[in-house]
């Protein structure tokens, strides 16, 4: 059964290309363009892994993931791995993200990205 991956990024080109890559590789990827929708989706959808941009308007990726983890905990559901993607080298927010998951810098090599995803979805 394909692992469900949620891709969250405010850049539609990024979400489209990542979902195409993941779906072509055998995953089941779905995209959202903001953290608020992701927080709502996680409430009643099984997700195996989250790929999220660190910098997004309104609510950033780090805050989105914190809220997702709170929801999972409150519903007694298992924690899920997170891969943050970012084009910024701002060390403070990246350090905070590293406490919650893996951080990959854009632009990244597709093969390295897929190896990272496989590492967290291997069962």
Tokens 């632009």 belong to residue: 107
Given this model, what pLDDT does residue 18 score?
97
Given this model, what pLDDT does residue 67 score?
98
Match domain 4-121 to its CATH number in 3.40.50.2300, 3.40.50.300, 3.40.1360.10, 3.30.365.10: 3.40.50.2300
Checking if the pLDDT of 40 tops 60, the result is yes
Checking if the pLDDT of 70 tops 90, the result is yes
Query: pLDDT digit string (tens) for 81-123?
Result: 999 999 888 778 889 999 999 999 988 999 999 999 999 987 5
pTM summary value: 0.95
Checking if the pLDDT of 62 tops 90, the result is yes
Given this model, what pLDDT does residue 8 score?
98
Measured CA to CA, the distance from residue 75 to residue 17 in angstroms comes to: 32
DSSP H stretches of helix in 1-123: 12-24, 35-44, 61-74, 91-98, 110-121
Sheet holding 82-86, edge to edge: 28-32, 4-8, 49-53, 82-86, 102-105
State the average pLDDT over residues 33-51. 96
Task: Name the residue ranges covered by the structural domains of the chain.
Answer: 4-121
Given this model, what pLDDT does residue 92 score?
87
Q: Average pLDDT of the chain?
A: 94
Residue 30, SS3? strand
């Amino acid at each position: 059964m394909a692992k469900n991956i949620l891709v969250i990024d405010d850049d539609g080109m990024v979400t489209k290309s990542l979902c195409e890559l993941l779906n072509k590789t055998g995953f089941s990827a779905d995209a959202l363009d903001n953290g608020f929708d992701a927080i709502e989706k996680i409430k009643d959808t099984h997700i195996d892994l989250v790929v999220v941009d660190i910098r997004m308007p309104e609510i950033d990726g780090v805050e989105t993931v914190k809220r997702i983890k709170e929801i999972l905990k409150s519903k007694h559901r298992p924690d899920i791995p997170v891969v943050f993607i970012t084009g910024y080298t701002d060390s403070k927010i990246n350090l905070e993200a590293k406490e919650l998951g893996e951080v990959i810098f854009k632009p990244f090599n597709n093969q390295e990205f897929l190896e990272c995803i496989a590492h967290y979805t291997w069962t």
